[in-house]
Amino acid sequence: MLFVVLLQLVLCVNVKAQDKMESSSTIYVFRLKPHEDLKKSIMAWAKQHHIKAGIIVTCVGSLEQYSLRFANQENGTLHKGHFEIVSLTGTFTQDAAHLHLAVSDSTGQTIGGHLLDDNFIYTTVEIAVAELNDVVFERETDATYGYKELAIRRRNRKP
């Protein structure tokens, strides 16, 4: 039930309040191994499977290095060590991703931000993603701040 609510919340972003956009989904589960790059691996998988609208369902695992960009910062921050992934969330396509990662260190201190490249897996990452079958994610410049923001479109199916 929670999963259905999550999908509806994601799909209603940037859609007129009176409109409702629903989608069926296909769930994929895979494991990433030591020293693989978390973001590059997700993007390679998305490209291989021609994903037009994907969301992260869940992700657990560990990193030997994280690279994040914090709120309102131009550059990323890189740290080496051993970190537990406590959250990975976001949207992606075969061409682009908007993903946020939170990790904790050995003292339990947790930090999060915008996922960049160079997040290397320590022992494993177990990840579940959903491909939304009835919509397409695109990025359009939002006039408010000039960032490319999520635009959700109905997927055109061939008869």
The residue among 42, 23, 139, 129 whose CA lies nearest residue 94 is 42
- Within a domain: residue 20? no
pLDDT in tens, 30-59: 999 999 999 999 999 999 999 999 999 999
- Within a domain: residue 140? yes
pLDDT category of residue 142 using cuts at 50, 70 and 90: confident
Q: Which domain holds residue 88?
A: 32-154
What type of residue sits at position 92?
Answer: F
The count of structural domains within the chain is 1
pTM of the model: 0.84
- Within a domain: residue 36? yes
- Within a domain: residue 62? yes
CATH number of the domain encompassing residue 66? 3.30.1330.80
